[in-house]
Amino acid sequence: MASSTKYIFITGGVTSSLGKGIIAASLGKLLQARGFKVTIQKFDPYLNIDPGTLNPYEHGECYVTDDGAETDLDLGHYERFLNITTSQDNNITTGRIYNNVITRERKGEFLGKTVQVIPHITDEIKSNFYKLGEEGKYDVVITEIGGCVGDIESLPFIEAVRQAKWDLGPNRFLVIHLTLIPYLKAAKELKTKPTQHSVKQLLEAGIQPDILVCRTEYHLPSDVKKKLALFCNVQLNNVIEAMDADSIYDVPLLMKKEKLDERVMTKLKLTSKENTDLENWKDFLGKLKNPTQEVKIGLVGKYVSLPDSYKSIIESFTHAGASIECEVDLRLISSEEINADNIASKLKDLDGILVAPGFGERGFEGKIETVKYARENNIPFLGICLGMQVAVIEYARNVLHLNDANSTEMDSETKNPVIGLMEDQKNIDQMGGTMRLGSYACELKKGSKSFQAYGKSKIQERHRHRYEFNNKYLEVLEENGMIATGKNPETGLVEIVEIKNHPWFVGVQFHPEYKSTVLTPQPLFVKFIQAAVDNKIK
């Protein structure tokens, strides 16, 4: 174990969805701004090997890393805040832990020992805690423990954190506990009892939190902070207030004001190499909060009732919009509710339309109608993954008059499979981790809209799909005005399609939203928003 890396563990209590990921990312950003090399990892207590097979309604979007890992959406926050790339090692689930241990047991690696939660499962968890730190690349590894203290499935993780304290020693180990201070309107009081109970559960598991981060809708008066410090065994200045913020991007500055980074550095005996450099961050926030123009963009998909299903896309609009000082009024529209009769009324006041990724045929015909509307009415259009495939199918049906054109995902018997399975996907019977995943190269046609966006001819973008453009239809589509402007240089697979004689019509097979960050907004989103602005002025 590299002797210098420091480890911070973030646990949560009282309720889930308090924002452990945002606090982890904000703390990471503050430490990074002081010159430290930081990475963040997420340990999820569910039994799925990864979130790849989870319904977006269950868990929000599935985020994909460069190395092709299907991970928790919190890794998206880590990358967007810290401008770093994460990997498979940054997201571990209970399923992965047990799978690793059981595989080793089947191989006989435990020499006939009885395999138990302690020490075998907890040892496996700890080895994953330390894995990134042992590479010697990082000064600080922040580990977010998913779920809530007291959840039965979190117990092995909490026990592993307790053991880690003794492995690491006092100056390399820190626990931050994120908790809720509810306000009871009837009593007009902030209540500390849920937090006391939550910390008590941590103490029963053998862990004393070093810092309390208290989520609250109202400022915490000093007497509430004193009470929390007294009952939770925490120093008074380590009780940190985390007020609700207008934007998640305000949180690093709020945490700096509360001196979270200083408290952490004191406890871990970290000496800062430089003053906190957050000028770029402040510039971004300034532009975000003071836009000079506005556009209305429709995001058409089938998971719109849970916006977290499209988290990276929504954040990409935030980054790209701020970069050109444009407020994006994003309207989430269910593709299931769109048909030929009502489409004009549903989409009439939009300046741009994005058709979102997804799987399966629910809401598919609504997406076809949406693309047709954007194409025929010259509305700037961006199609992502399935959105690009829908654009190809719509064009084949309505311009080439191949009325039964389809994807074999939607109709396995279609006579005109303009979208189909790659050969290496045809015999797959397992769903998890078997798609085209991770970062692949793409070569762009000079002069194309996508080339103008990126400003270079070779790009790398991340994928998450099973079906591909069928090259048998490439020639006839190009003859009729739909051009393949981006291709994979090795396989010749079409990655980007564009339409001539349209203000801005781009469909991409990859997921550009996964690589958008605060400091490097995704070029396609920037150009798409700009096209929507320009088209609106016309």
Q: How far apart are alpha carbons 360 and 409 in whole angstroms?
A: 7
Establish whether 474 is an annotated binding residue: no
Q: Which residues is 499 bridged to in the sheet?
A: 482
**CATH number of the domain within which 179 lies:** 3.40.50.300
| Contact call for residues 242 and 23 (beta carbons, < 8 A) | yes
Amino acid (1-letter code) at residue 183:
Y
The rounded distance, in Å, linking the Cα atoms of 516 and 463 is: 14
CA distance 321 to 299: 15
Domain contains 170: yes
Of 230, 253, 282, the last residue of a domain is 282
Residues 267 and 408 both lie in one domain: no
Shared-domain flag, residues 10 and 82: yes
- The arithmetic mean of pLDDT across residues 20-30, rounded, is 94
Q: Alpha helices, DSSP H only, in 20-73?
A: 20-33, 56-59
Q: What is the CATH number of the domain that holds 458?
A: 3.40.50.880
527 appears as a binding residue in the annotation: no
Q: Is 71 annotated as a binding residue?
A: no
Q: Is 257 annotated as a binding residue?
A: no
> What is the C-alpha separation between 366 and 393, in angstroms, rounded?
13
Q: Are residues 238 and 343 in the same domain?
A: no
Residues 6+ apart with CB under 8 A from 138: 5, 37, 38, 39, 132
3-state secondary structure of 2: coil
Q: Is residue 211 one of the residues assigned to a domain?
A: yes
Catalytic-labelled residue, pool 241, 327, 468, 513? 513
Bridge-partner residues for 44, per DSSP? 93
What is the spatial distance between Cα 525 and Cα 278, in angstroms, rounded to a whole number? Answer: 24
| Cβ-based neighbours of 252, under 8 Å, separated by 6 or more | 25, 26, 29, 30, 81, 278, 281
- Structurally, the chain folds into a number of domains equal to 2
Q: What does the alpha-carbon distance between residue 357 and residue 516 come to, in Å, rounded to a whole number?
A: 16
Do 203 and 67 share a structural domain? yes
- What single DSSP character describes residue 436? E
> What is the per-residue pLDDT across 407-448, written as a single tens digit (0 to 9) for each?
888 888 888 888 888 665 555 555 444 567 888 999 999 999
Is residue 322 pLDDT above 50, yes or no? yes
Are 298 and 333 spatial neighbours (Cβ–Cβ below 8 Å)?
yes
The pLDDT, as a whole number, for residue 363 is 80
| pLDDT, mean of residues 225-252 | 93
Looking at residue 426, what is its pLDDT? 54
For 416, list phi and psi in degrees, rounded to 5: -125, 75
Kindly list the distances between the CA atom of residue 26 and the CA atoms of 86, 189, 243, 249, 362, in Å, as whole numbers in the listed order. 16, 29, 14, 8, 37
Whether residue 151 lies inside any domain: the answer is yes
Closest CA to 386 of 372, 400, 414, 406: 406
Q: Which pLDDT score is estimated for 423?
A: 61
401 tagged catalytic: no
pLDDT-based confidence at residue 2 (cuts at 50, 70, 90) = very low
CA distance 94 to 12: 17
Whether 223 is covered by a domain: the verdict is: yes
170 and 187 both lie in a single domain: yes
45 Cβ contact partners less than 8 Å away, ≥ 6 residues apart: 93, 94, 145, 146, 147, 151, 153, 154, 157
- If asked whether residues 359 and 265 sit together in one domain, one would say no
Same domain, 338 and 198: no
How does pLDDT run across 268-310, given as a tens digit for each residue? Answer: 999 876 777 788 999 999 999 999 999 999 999 888 877 888 9
Which of the residues 77, 120, 177, 511 is marked catalytic?
Answer: 511
Domain boundary among 264, 282, 300: 282
Domain assignment of residue 515, yes or no: yes
Active site residue 177: no
**How far, in whole angstroms, is CA 283 from its chain's centroid?**
23
Q: Is residue 163 part of a domain?
A: yes
Say whether 247 counts as a known binding-site residue. Answer: no
Residues 50, 185, single domain; the answer is yes
Q: Write out the residue range of the structural domain in which residue 110 sits.
A: 6-282
Q: For residue 136, what pLDDT is reported?
A: 86
User: Is residue 361 over pLDDT 80?
Assistant: no
Residue 1: inside a domain: no
Cβ-contact 351, 380 below 8 angstroms: yes
Q: Establish if 240 belongs to a structural domain.
A: yes
Task: At 233, list the tokens.
Answer: 């065994």
Q: Residue range 4-20: average pLDDT?
A: 89
Are 303 and 325 contained in the same domain?
yes
Which one is predicted more confidently, 482 or 69? 482
Q: What is the pLDDT of residue 358?
A: 83
- Positive or negative CA dihedral for 263, 268, 274, 276? negative
Select which of 315, 385, 463, 498 is catalytic.
385
Choose the final residue of a domain: 282, 300, 335: 282
Whether residues 328 and 447 fall in one domain: yes
How would DSSP label each residue in 346-371? HHTT-SEEEEPP--SSTTHHHHHHHH
The reply to whether 294 belongs to the active site is no
Same domain, 251 and 302: no
Q: Is position 18 annotated in a ligand binding site?
A: yes
Residue 16 pLDDT > 70: yes
Position 82 scores a pLDDT of: 92
Is 175 found in the same domain as 32?
A: yes
Predicted confidence at residue 265, as pLDDT, reads 94
Annotated binding residue at 383?
no
Q: What is the mean pLDDT of residues 134-155?
A: 91
